[in-house]
Structure 1
Amino acid sequence: MAHPVDVHVGKRVRHRRWMVGMTQQQLAEKVGIKFQQIQKYETGTNRVSASRLWAIAEALNVEVSFFFEGLDGDQEEAGAETLGPADLIADKEALDLVRSYYGIPEHQRKRLFELARCLSDVA
């Protein structure tokens, strides 16, 4: 069974990869491994070594500490993983929505935001 920290780190790798719009294949090429290994890291099936995590962080342009954000020592020891609502962006659909949103010119984006706010108030 995968350790909760390995699962958390894998989710954070996937999250960041999606954020920058990179495929598993592209990340694997930058790091010098096969994309299947990236898949195993992202699911927590395989543990990421320190040197490999460093290379992944460089490829994704983040600090290594990014992959550990959101971990709570007490819950980690209990086997719980703590991404929660703050990590909503880990949802692929939400990430696609955010990417599309920022692709819209700023003045139109503000109008769309106000429309979304009004719609959510009605719902």
Structure 2
Amino acid sequence: METPIHFSAAAIAMRAANASPSARVRLAPITPATNRAIQQRLGRAIRQRRRMLDLTLQDIAASCGVTFQQVHKYESGLCSMSASQLWCIAVALETPVAYFYDALVTPELVAPADPDIA
């Protein structure tokens, strides 16, 4: 005989909130073009902050446990990074993670005007 599972009122409310889409939530589809633009923006912000602190690629790589080539790929927008990797870079650059997103525009503004460009 299985023991019945009891959910707290907060868990039930959260489940109900997640079950029905809210009118306040706006979908932000991530297209390849949008993803590329976000990675390039993050990379430019990382490079700008690194240079501001007069650090080398090797300095950041050593702090984050990756190679300097990997940091270069992040800065060039050639490679996406995990949230934990971005956090590690932010710590190495002595800045909050939000710094990298400050000038990021909404997806509608990032999408190319011509759909054939993507």
TM over 0.5: same fold? yes
Aligned CA distance change for structure 1 residues 79 and 30 (closer, same or farther; 3 Å): farther
Q: Does 1:7 align with 2:40?
A: yes
User: Aligned partners of 2:92 and 2:50: how far apart in 1?
Assistant: 9
* CA shift for structure 1 position 79: 4.5
Q: Which residue of 2 aligns with 1:27?
A: 60
* CA shift for structure 1 position 55: 0.3
Write the deviation string for residues 39-94 of structure 1: whole angstroms up to 9, x where unpaired.
00000000011000000000000000111111110322x159xxxxxxxxxxxxxx
User: Aligned partners of 1:54 and 1:26: how far apart in 2?
Assistant: 16
Runs of 4+ in 1 over 6 A off after TM superposition: none
- Maintained 8 Å contact 1:53/1:64: yes
Structure 2 runs not aligned, ≥5 long:
1-31, 114-118
User: Aligned partners of 1:58 and 1:72: how far apart in 2?
Assistant: 24
TM-score by length of 1: 0.60
Q: Does 1:37 align with 2:108?
A: no
Say which of 44, 50, 70 aligns to 2:103: 70
- Maintained 8 Å contact 1:4/1:79: no
- Tell me the C-alpha RMSD between the 2 structures: 1.7
Aligned amino acid, residue 52 of structure 2: M
Q: Work out which of the two has the higher radius of gyration on C-alpha atoms and give 1 or 2.
A: 2
Write the deviation string for residues 3-27 of structure 1: whole angstroms up to 9, x where unpaired.
1000000000000000000000111
Greater helix content? 1
User: Aligned partners of 1:19 and 1:79: how far apart in 2?
Assistant: 31
TM-score by length of 2: 0.63
User: Aligned partners of 1:51 and 1:71: how far apart in 2?
Assistant: 19
Aligned amino acid, residue 12 of structure 1: A
Identity over aligned pairs, percent? 38
Structure 1 runs not aligned, ≥5 long:
81-123
